[in-house]
Amino acid sequence: MIKRISLIAVLAGSIILTSCGSDTSGGAGAAGTRQPTSVKAYQAVRQDLSRTLTYSGTVEPIGVASISPDMPGKIQSLMVDIGEPVLKGQQLAVMDNTTLTYQLDQARAALAVARANKADAEKNWQRNQNLYSEGAISEQQNEKARLGDQAAEAQLKQAEANLNLLDHQYSRTFLRSPFKGVVTQRGFEEGDLVNPAMGRPPVYTVMDITAVTVGLQVPHNEIDFIYKDQAATLEIATTSRRTYPGQVNIVNIAADAGSKTFYVETLFRNTDGSLRPGTFGDVHVEVERREAVLVVPRTALLDGNMVFIIQDGKAYRTRIEPGLITPDWVEIITGLSEHDTVIIEGGYTLADSSDVQIQTGEF
């Protein structure tokens, strides 16, 4: 699983200041006067700033069913094809059940015989009980009648169990979808022999794509930021870069023995079916948010806590206290005011109080 960290600033209506001078070295002009250094600058504004952890993963269906017969047999008919939607309980295929049909007839006949034998043995036992109470038969004869009734009862139960087993096997020759979904694979053709014990592909694979999951591998230094039911966003690498809202569904408390990362599963609804299993996407999990804070581009930051502020055409080195720092933005706690103009490009070679030239442009 590939992982990267991105931190996003939500910025609107920002203004950038872009250089226009032709001499970026601060060298002398034709008249011998020193020209201002050309720089790019930015006007500090208050905006929302957030820190987001981003992980890459593969989209998987919420449910997958591999559909095969319980016992070896020949496929009699296939009723759906790849890509077709199916309903829960819908019949997908029929295995050849001719032999089972004959066995069922035989089992029903055997059950009828067992019921008749049970009825006869029960009557004989009752009759012998009366005779024994009158002293007309011996205890041994009475006991024999009782055992005969018990044997008939056992044979009846055996016949019923055999019929139930064959009924179950017969019903399993009709392959059905366990849930509403889409057929994504068909492994055989009509007339093929299928033996589930041989490890071959199933007759059908059905996926439930009403929701999808994306598994993430989170390093140990970030797992404390992730918790169950936390909001997440899935972004698919298409031309539209569409995003899908979701949430963290599973957070494993134990690290993987090999990678030392923690497995996290995220869940996303897929009501329109546009999320396709097997595709690649990025999951963004917002772990920190600051609202209406003063921000400047990170390129304005020098030596960790210094910026150049422009006043009256001069650049002044100013100490600031940074807050939340992202790859693109820096929160300013102290040292700047809203609408202060700071240099974001060309400041590394400047001395304090240098003359600079800027031009306003759109950020």
pLDDT tens digits, one per residue of 91-127: 999 999 999 999 999 999 999 999 999 999 999 999 9
User: Are 185 and 168 within 8 A, CB to CB?
Assistant: no
Q: According to the model, what pLDDT value does residue 359 have?
A: 60
Residue type, 331: E
User: Are 200 and 265 within 8 A, CB to CB?
Assistant: no
Task: Grade residue 327 by pLDDT with cuts at 50, 70 and 90.
Answer: confident
Question: What CATH number did the domain enclosing 43 receive?
Answer: 2.40.420.20
Alpha helices in the chain (DSSP H): 98-133, 139-171
Q: Which of 4-13, 84-93, 105-114 has the lowest mean pLDDT?
A: 4-13
Task: Grade residue 179 by pLDDT with cuts at 50, 70 and 90.
Answer: very high
Instruction: Identify whether residues 333 and 216 lie together within a single domain.
Output: no
Residue with tokens 């559909």: 67
Instruction: Identify whether residues 22 and 80 lie together within a single domain.
Output: no
Instruction: Identify whether residues 138 and 31 lie together within a single domain.
Output: no
Mean pLDDT confidence for 138-154: 93
Whether pLDDT at 18 is above 80: no
Q: Which of 27-31, 150-154, 252-256, 292-296 has the lowest mean pLDDT?
A: 27-31
Instruction: Identify whether residues 243 and 134 lie together within a single domain.
Output: no
Task: Grade residue 25 by pLDDT with cuts at 50, 70 and 90.
Answer: very low
Mean pLDDT confidence for 32-48: 87
Instruction: Identify whether residues 305 and 349 lie together within a single domain.
Output: yes
How is residue 91 written in tokens? 């019949």
Q: What torsion, rounded to 10 degrees, do the Cα atoms 286, 288, 293, 297 define?
A: -70
User: Are 349 and 23 within 8 A, CB to CB?
Assistant: no
Instruction: Identify whether residues 244 and 275 lie together within a single domain.
Output: yes
Instruction: Identify whether residues 217 and 270 lie together within a single domain.
Output: yes
| Domain of 184, in residue numbers | 69-95+175-202
Q: How far apart are CA 330 and CA 333, in angstroms?
A: 9
Q: How far apart are CA 298 and CA 334, in angstroms?
A: 15
Q: How far apart are CA 102 and CA 334, in angstroms?
A: 89
Q: How far apart are CA 109 and CA 112, in angstroms?
A: 5
Q: How far apart are CA 132 and CA 144, in angstroms?
A: 12
Instruction: Identify whether residues 110 and 182 lie together within a single domain.
Output: no
Instruction: Identify whether residues 181 and 296 lie together within a single domain.
Output: no
Whether pLDDT at 13 is above 60: no
Instruction: Identify whether residues 149 and 181 lie together within a single domain.
Output: no
Instruction: Identify whether residues 237 and 188 lie together within a single domain.
Output: no
Q: How far apart are CA 4 and CA 231, in angstroms?
A: 18
Question: Which residue(s) pair with 55 in the sheet?
Answer: 3, 283
Mean pLDDT confidence for 130-159: 92
Question: What CATH number did the domain enclosing 247 receive?
Answer: 2.40.30.170
Q: According to the model, what pLDDT value does residue 101 have?
A: 96
What percent of the chain is predicted at pLDDT more than 90? 77
Single residue among 288, 315, 333 that ends a domain in this structure: 288
Question: What CATH number did the domain enclosing 133 receive?
Answer: 1.10.287.470
Q: According to the model, what pLDDT value does residue 264 have?
A: 98
Q: How many domains does the chain have?
A: 4
Whether pLDDT at 257 is above 70: yes
Q: According to the model, what pLDDT value does residue 360 have?
A: 54
Whether pLDDT at 10 is above 50: no
Residue with tokens 């018990």: 150
Q: According to the model, what pLDDT value does residue 197 have?
A: 85
Which positions ≥6 away from 338 have C-beta within 8 Å? 44, 45, 46, 294
Q: Taking the chain, what is the end-to-end CA distance rounded to the nearest angstrom?
A: 35
Q: How far apart are CA 188 and CA 202, in angstroms?
A: 8
